[in-house]
Structure 1
Amino acid sequence: MATTPRTAVPTLIGSVQRALRLLEAVGSHTDGAPAKQLAREAGLPLPTAYHLLRTLTHEGYLRRERGVFVIGPAAERLAGGGAVQNRRATLVDSLTHWRDALGVPVYFAVYRQGEIELVAVSDTPAAPAVEEWADFRETGHAHALGQCLLSQLDAASREDHLDRYPVRPLTRHSVRDRGILLRRLAAAERMQPIVEQQEYALGTVCAAIPITAGSSAAAMAISGPSSEEERLRSAVETLRSEVGALLGSLAFSISI
């Protein structure tokens, strides 16, 4: 059986390092640069630079335009992934701040492409998040986050969601049918908290506030034991009063 030469791995690592140096060199020029300049800046022999530039262009990491090389779509996607991670970190930092300030679990969710999506949760062992014992996406009618998101939709989108995910009681406190839920959602006041008491999980109360960013629907929520309902209502009012300061860090998080 043939074996891989011992020099293969170091050679491969060296090729990757040289390719990265070329990418860095291209990235330092807004309008691109020719191969000879890039080879010089990356400290590479011109034939090596040509070979790597052709490979990077073929793979989409670079583009050649009017004799110069510029960053390609594959490299832009990599940079975009880093931006998403930065946005998520900013979001988590915001949730953590309010978790510590209020002493309760904090949630952030969006309504995207017809689905309820729980984007991030921040909790502690002393104040744990509600256990997702029934799929949050399918039970939006029964928890404050879902009700808050559904209240922000237009009538047609709301009806479409409930056609796909029919109202069904999860506990003895849950909303019983679609008509009751629709009347409740229609009565929800703009920017006012929505509170559900043991509708999703017995012994738990949850309160959510809408986060408005253009045409997108998003919501923040907190939860706690049902015995601490008054404290939770006070906490969500504090959160609502400060939501303006949060919009900068949360609005762009809708695109995560």
Structure 2
Amino acid sequence: MQSNDAARDAVLELFQREPSSRLTFRQIASKLEGVHPDLGAAVEQLLQSGQLWPAGDRRYALPSELGISAGTIVIRANGSGFVKSSGERIDIDARNASGSLDGDLVMARKLGSLPGEGHYRGKVESVIKRSRQGVSGIARKKGRNWVIDPVNPVLPREIPLRTVPDNDIKQGRLVFALLDYSGKRLAADLKKDLGSPSSPEALIDSVVLDHGFHDEFPENLLKNAEELASQPWTLEGREDFRDLFTITIDPV
């Protein structure tokens, strides 16, 4: 692992010394000092992380030299969005979002300038890191199959929802599903039936899960809380504000 890290760092340093270079794998190897048996894996990792980019003719270059920037994409309800990176803004049409979802870390290529300094139009070349693992939404039948319409309006509609016989859900239920990015089209696997969309508890659970939080506490944490709750309560070290008039908008 250490040799792989050393090879990766050495390749990056090489391109940083020669930022305009477009090098083949053989040229990279010849320019590096010492022996790097993990060079192939190191270059592949740099490509996957977006720190290097294919430049054509089996050559590699820094993404910035090819007009490509890394950044988090913000998606609108109509499917379009934008990426901000190093003080620049790249506007992305819905057709050029390349399957990216709101909050994903992406590599975006500039396609042309727009009015305003540092403002461009562009397209998403690839998704480096996904921002979410699951989605909350309304389950409904479409033909013979199930789909989920996310509660988050910037996420795509009618995501195919895969169920198994044990997961017997009803039309219009609020559910949580795990997203599957492995296929050509985004899909989801039913994880939990949250309840009726008119239920405040189900709505709260849907928001919690949709933002990547857990709706249940770990067993060891619950046990620790029970132990603390069983201890005698005292005012020592506390300031008593029970007589202070307060107003809350939280459901109580």
TM-score in same-fold range (> 0.5): no
Of structures 1 and 2, the one scoring higher in RCO (CA 8 A, sep 6+) is 1
Return the TM-score normalized by structure 1.
0.23
**Bigger helix fraction:** 1
**Bigger strand fraction:** 2
